Amino acid sequence: MITLKEYATKVGRCESAIRRKILRGTLQAEKIGRDWLIDEDTPYEDGRITSGKYVGQRKPKIGP
């Protein structure tokens, strides 16, 4: 188990982004006292959709 700060350095993200993911429930962590501890082997997963599934979804449909 490593601290939030160490994990953020390891994955190359800022601490606040990691904390937001923990509070949102998309990253598993334990809170001991005032510190968050994360398993060292936990992968950082980017939740953005990169498949293009929603491309053009907001365009109005023209015609019947």
| 29: in domain | yes
Instruction: Report how far Cα 30 is from the mean position of its chain's Cα atoms.
Output: 16
Q: How far apart are CA 64 and CA 60, in angstroms?
A: 12
* Residue 15 counted as domain residue: yes
In a domain, 11, yes or no: yes
Number of domains in the chain: 1
- For 23, the token pair is 């509070």
Is 32 among the domain residues?
A: yes
How confident is the model at residue 64, as a pLDDT? 65
The per-residue pLDDT for 63 is 65
Mean per-residue pLDDT, 34-58:
82
Domain of residue 20: give its range: 2-38
Task: Decide if 62 is inside a domain.
Answer: no
Q: Is residue 46 part of a domain?
A: no
| 9-38 per-position pLDDT tens digit | 999 999 999 999 999 998 899 999 999 999
